[in-house]
Amino acid sequence: MLVKTLLWTATLLLLAVFGARAETALERGAYLVNSVLACGACHTSDAPGAQPFAGGRRFVTIAYTAHAANLTPEKETGLGNWTDEQLIYGLRNGKRPRGSTIGWPMPVASFSALSDEDVKAVVAFLRSLPEVTNKTPRSTYRKPLPASYGPDVTSVTSVPESDRLAYGRYLATIASCTYCHSRPGEDGAPDFKNGLAEGGREFRGPWGQSLAPALTPTAIGFYSDADLKMIIRTGMRPDGRKLLPPMPIAQFAGMKDGDVEAIVGWLRTLK
């Protein structure tokens, strides 16, 4: 009897979690990773014929030379030896199973906001990738990395999609809009408290230099909602000027209408 009741409770819970959304955890994970979290913008090499998520992109700044790791389930060179729990903990807290810190520019401050449901979906998707053997070089950092990025994040409740403002803020956080577009604090992490969406992070690359501008109403108020949707998904401004990298346009192109709208709606409410 007890077993039966437990089984029923489990079934009902599953229905409550997945029933409301007509998509499986794997589908949700694929959408998040490919079109919102933009893992592939860094973890896929830009060399022709490179295997998706098998690592290889190199970031060179004055402060570091970093190599984005292989995220496929291969055991020696990928994430095959990490348990699901270790991967979930690592994404949110920027830690490897043995305790070392995962370094810049991995946007840990974005992923620490991932809800329990969404972070599990991300892991389900990563586990479904074909195994690829590709050993990426070790990253080097001039200054030692912080021992931690903040208090341990172990559980985050889901933000209901029906709460459009809260959901817009959630998406803008996990999609790293606020990571790149907030003023960096002294430690290099985005200062969400005093500089939220106020702009100021600088990037250098083969394209030269770019600066993530403020996304506050004073800064982007002259764009219509349709303009902003176009900029975010195509990287093209209404006057035809293309955005410089590294905003992950190729990934955001697949973002659902309702999700871009929720982000824009939230940006409109900023001070």
Binding site for ligand HEC (CB under 6 A): 33, 37-39, 41-43, 59, 66, 68-69, 71, 79, 90-91, 96, 102-103, 105-107, 111, 122, 139, 172, 175-177, 180-181, 203, 210, 212-213, 215, 220, 228, 231-232, 237, 243-244, 246-248, 252, 263
Provide the minimum distance between the beta carbon of 56 and ligand HEC in the complex, in angstroms, as a whole number: 11
- Contact predicate 267/167, CB 8 Å: no
Specify the residue, 111 or 170, whose C-beta has the smaller distance to ligand HEC.
111
Peptide bond into 246 cis (omega under 30): yes
Burial of 69 (0-12, 13-18, 19+ CB in 10 A): buried
Provide the minimum distance between the beta carbon of 7 and ligand HEC in the complex, in angstroms, as a whole number: 33
Provide the minimum distance between the beta carbon of 222 and ligand HEC in the complex, in angstroms, as a whole number: 9
Please, what is the Cα angle at 169 between 262 and 87, to 5 degrees?
115
Provide the minimum distance between the beta carbon of 11 and ligand HEC in the complex, in angstroms, as a whole number: 30
Q: What is the 8-class DSSP label of residue 157?
A: P
Specify the residue, 151 or 208, whose C-beta has the smaller distance to ligand HEC.
208
Specify the residue, 12 or 152, whose C-beta has the smaller distance to ligand HEC.
152
Provide the minimum distance between the beta carbon of 16 and ligand HEC in the complex, in angstroms, as a whole number: 25
CA 69 to chain centre: 15
How many angstroms separate the Cα of 234 from the Cα of each of 40, 100, 147, 222, 231? Answer: 17, 37, 38, 18, 5
Specify the residue, 9 or 218, whose C-beta has the smaller distance to ligand HEC.
218
Specify the residue, 8 or 207, whose C-beta has the smaller distance to ligand HEC.
207
- Contact predicate 40/52, CB 8 Å: yes
* CB atoms inside a 10 Å sphere around CB 122: 24
Please, what is the Cα angle at 167 between 165 and 169, to 5 degrees?
70
* CB atoms inside a 10 Å sphere around CB 21: 12
Provide the minimum distance between the beta carbon of 217 and ligand HEC in the complex, in angstroms, as a whole number: 12
Specify the residue, 1 or 242, whose C-beta has the smaller distance to ligand HEC.
242
